[in-house]
Amino acid sequence: MNSPLLLQLIATLAIPVLLVLAWTAVRSRLRGRRPVQTPAPALTVRVRRIVDEAADIKSFELVSVDGSALPAWSAGAHIDVRIDDKTVRQYSLCGAPGARDAYLIAVKNAPDSRGGSRAMHQRVSVGDTLVISGPRNHFALVDGARHYMLIAGGIGITPLLAMAQELQARGASFELHYFTRSTAETAFHQVLSSEAYAGKVNFHHAVAARVHELLRPLLGKCPQGHHLYMCGPRGFTDVISEVAAGIWPPEAIHIEYFSADQAGLAAPSHAFEVKLQRSGRTIPVAASSSIVDALCANGIEVATSCREGVCGTCLTDVVAGTPDHRDAFLSDKERKAGDKMMICVSRAKSGQLVLDL
């Protein structure tokens, strides 16, 4: 075939493809769909160092087994750590943001945990290898804020420590308030007490009875351009949210949960069905089953990680129906929109949900 005819044929075939691609991009923007962060490829790392950071809190320094650089990350990111064949837990990266020679995580040996923290404390030693995911970030710093208010409770310091280090490196305006029971239970106390953070880090010990009193002057006003970041036990972040409500606009409040909303998970459940938009299949979901489990039982694999509605891996678009949100990931605004849900824990208020699967 001569060149002019070949070029004409290629152009003729390409036009429909380009139109489809263009419409797909436009449709995605019109729907306001937030991209789902699929699990990053698994990495094998070696535990290079373990440090007792505070009472019942250990930090673990992880390096690649072959000495290569680890994937890039930013403050607020977390990784999945596979402890055994059935146990995967999420831990925030708390080292210096951008460091790729090693990842640093900190784990509290919590008596009420599901076993992950006990395993990390009791079964993991220096020299052991672990399988982890690459970093994902659902709790990133907003660029260009005039001031960042960081509030941590207990082990909730982990993502905020990375944020404090990143903001310090930027020369940005910030303050960190760290609530713990005692100095002995304050992780990374030496780092945060250093001269570099003088006037920016405030420790609050044994003040459970006065949390409201201490928070009101901190959150009693929200100057334009200020953003609030918080992480800690659910009851602690609920108190912060209560004090900030009506003063701080929702878009200026950022929360990282490291446990599910137990009240939401314990709410009564009923059976419903899920229709899969792409295949047209309808899957029944029993009152005792999650959507993810029902899909898996019918040979439909979906990406999951925490199975508690915390990490965001199973974020799925809702085409029709009314979700019963029971996660700790979506914002109030996203929940009200009703166009996406966490299918590992959330259910349906309607008899049927149509999902973009």
Q: Under a CB-based contact definition with an 8 Å cutoff, are residues 317 and 340 in contact? A: yes
The last residue of one of the domains, among 232, 256, 280, is: 256
Task: Check residue 19 and give its pLDDT.
Answer: 34
**CA–CA dist 110, 57 (Å, integer):** 9
Residues in the chain, overall count = 357
Helices (H), the chain: 3-31, 116-123, 157-170, 189-192, 211-219, 234-244, 262-265, 291-297, 332-337
Which one-letter amino acid corresponds to residue 53? E
C-alpha 169/C-alpha 167 separation (Å) is 5
**Same domain as 172, residue 73:** no
Q: What is the CATH number of the domain that holds 229?
A: 3.40.50.80
Residue 241: domain span:
147-256
Same domain as 278, residue 217: no
The residue out of 236, 256, 276 marking a domain boundary is 256
Examine the domain organization and report whether 268 and 250 are in the same domain.
Answer: no
pLDDT of residue 331: 77
350 and 270 share one domain: yes
Looking at the structure, tell me whether residues 267 and 336 fall in a common domain.
yes
Instruction: State how far the Cα of 142 lies from the Cα of 33, in Å rounded to an integer.
Output: 19
How does DSSP classify residue 252?
G
And the tokens for 287? 């009152």
How far is C-alpha 340 from the geometric centre of its chain's CA atoms? 16
Q: What pLDDT was estimated at residue 5?
A: 44
Q: Residue 255 has which token pair?
A: 């929360």
Q: Would residue 210 count as lying in a domain?
A: yes
Domain boundary among 203, 234, 256: 256
Instruction: Determine the Cα–Cα distance for residues 310 and 312; give it in Å rounded to an integer.
Output: 6
- Give domain status of residue 47, yes or no: yes
Residues 158 and 249 in one domain: yes
- Which residue, 256, 86, 296, is CA-closest to 162? 256
H helices of 52-146, in order, are 116-123
Q: Do 184 and 108 belong to one domain?
A: no
**Closest by CA position to 225, among listed 173, 159, 177:** 173
CATH number of the domain where residue 49 is located: 2.40.30.10
Please, what is the Cα angle at 157 between 152 and 159, to 5 degrees?
110
Residue 186 lies in a domain: yes
The total number of structural domains in the chain stands at 3
Note down pLDDT in tens along the chain; length 357 residues: 454 444 444 444 444 433 333 333 333 333 333 444 445 578 999 999 999 999 999 999 999 999 999 999 999 999 999 987 777 888 999 998 889 999 999 999 977 666 678 889 999 999 999 999 999 898 999 999 999 999 999 999 999 999 999 999 999 999 999 999 999 999 999 999 999 999 999 999 999 889 999 999 999 999 999 999 999 988 899 999 999 999 999 999 999 876 666 666 678 899 999 999 999 999 999 999 999 999 999 999 888 877 888 878 899 999 999 999 998 888 778 888 999 999 999 999 999 999 999
Residue 108: its H or E element: strand 103-108
The set of residues, in sequence order, having a beta carbon less than 8 Å from that of 9 and lying 6+ positions away, is 1
Question: Looking at the structure, do residues 69 and 110 belong to the same domain, yes or no?
Answer: yes
**Got the DSSP string for 164-209?**
HHHHHHHT--EEEEEEES-GGG-TTHHHHTSGGGTTTEEEEES-GG
Nearest to 104 by CA among 58, 65, 137, 138: 58
Q: Which of 123, 109, 145 shows the shortest CA–CA distance to 229?
A: 145
- Domain shared by 295 and 349, yes or no: yes
